[in-house]
Amino acid sequence: MTNILVCDDDREIVEAIEIYLVQEGYHVIKAYDGDQAIAALKKNDIQLLIIDVMMPKLDGIHATLKIREYSSIPIIILSAKSEDADKILGLNIGADDYVTKPFNPLELVARVKSQLRRYTKLGNLNAENNAVFKAGGLVINDETKEVTVDGEAVKLTPIEYNILLLLVKNQGRVFSISQIYESIWEEEAIGADNTVAVHIRHIREKIEINPKEPRYLKVVWGVGYKIEKQA
């Protein structure tokens, strides 16, 4: 049984999240402020924490800081604060993911699943195979032509696969549309063509939980595309 602690001062939000998570087969423990969350964490065997930032008594940021002193469970911050600065702060103090309100509950569930997979299953996976390329939770096995995200298999067309492989092999490097075109199709790019951009969007839709806020395949607007180098 996987225990998930949900902490938000808005009881309806906690309730709604509970409904979604229970439907997915998780057991939910509820807390309504930071102190309660820490107490619940001590009392129960918790595998994942969803925590709001703006709460009475102890806010989410401080609670996360305290929890990180002794626990490495996945923490997803849930906040109405949508500024870049807020997200950076949250991720820097030890949260694994940051979801802004109002959120799509299905997306939240997907993120929960992703975090749990990584935490429980992939944490000690070691691939020594030369044909296996990894970028965080994204794994490409070039021998079997298999692509998995957080352990979940993803189906890609051959072109999409090749584009993704090119980017994963050169993590951190930005490829422009014409560069990608030339290396995949092996012919010169001819001006106005959306092909590559459309393919990229399709790949994103397949491997990302929220394609508009991609974790792996990032768009560098006006420059090109890249796979973020993962720690």
Point out which residues bind other proteins (CB under 8 A). 10, 12-13, 16-17, 19-20, 54, 80-82, 101-106, 176-177, 191-194, 196-201, 219-225
State how far the Cα of 61 lies from the Cα of 54, in Å rounded to an integer. Answer: 9
Alpha-carbon distances of 54 from 29, 33, 84, 150, rounded to whole Å = 19, 9, 16, 30
Nearer residue to other proteins within complex by CB, 104 or 183: 104
Nearer residue to other proteins within complex by CB, 133 or 225: 225
In whole angstroms, the minimum distance from the beta carbon of 139 to other proteins comes to 25
Give alpha helix (H) positions in 68-104. Answer: 84-92
In whole angstroms, the minimum distance from the beta carbon of 230 to other proteins comes to 21
Nearer residue to other proteins within complex by CB, 106 or 127: 106
In whole angstroms, the minimum distance from the beta carbon of 178 to other proteins comes to 8
In whole angstroms, the minimum distance from the beta carbon of 77 to other proteins comes to 14
Nearer residue to other proteins within complex by CB, 23 or 144: 23
In whole angstroms, the minimum distance from the beta carbon of 43 to other proteins comes to 27
Nearer residue to other proteins within complex by CB, 11 or 169: 11
In whole angstroms, the minimum distance from the beta carbon of 81 to other proteins comes to 7
Nearer residue to other proteins within complex by CB, 132 or 219: 219
Residues 6+ apart with CB under 8 A from 48: 2, 3, 4, 5, 73, 74, 75, 76, 112, 115, 116, 119
User: Which residue, among 35, 122, 124, 17, has the nearest Cα to 76 in the 3D structure?
Assistant: 17
Strands 217-220 and 224-227, sheet pairing: antiparallel
Across the chain, the runs of DSSP E, i.e. the strands, are 3-7, 27-31, 48-52, 75-79, 97-100, 132-135, 138-141, 146-149, 152-154, 217-220, 224-227
Q: SS3 for 84?
A: helix
